[in-house]
Amino acid sequence: MHDGCSGSFTNGKATVDKVRMMGFSDGALPMGLPIECECGTKFEMEFFEDKCPSCGMVFGVTPCSSHDPQKVKAAGVDY
């Protein structure tokens, strides 16, 4: 599914699944990332897997991409 830092994911669920499989889901990001959820809430993503405080949308980003807000993927509400 992912080969080092060169892998790509087809959707947010695949990204979050990979982060969970790697054991990074509750790990802190090196720096927070600004997120604007599809519900309109803006928040700072602090972990490799994080959740919108308003609607519960789950977001994920892999360690290799954690510097780039464009690489954050939405997996679904309460995924």
Query: In total, how many domains does the chain have?
Result: 1
In a domain, 56, yes or no: yes
pLDDT digits (tens, 9 = 90+) for 34-54: 999 999 999 999 999 999 999
**Is position 1 within any domain?**
no
Asked whether residue 12 carries a pLDDT value surpassing 70, the answer given is yes
Assigned domain for 22 exists: yes
- Judge whether 64 lies within some domain: yes
Q: Which domain holds residue 39?
A: 12-77
Q: Answer yes or no: is 53 within a domain.
A: yes
Domain assignment of residue 54, yes or no: yes
Which one, of 38, 6, 40, 2, lies nearest residue 20 by Cα? 2
| Pairwise CA distance, residues 65 & 79, whole Å | 20
Cβ neighbours, 10 Å, residue 15:
28
Residue 50 domain-assigned? yes
Tell whether pTM > 0.85: yes
Domain assignment of residue 4, yes or no: no
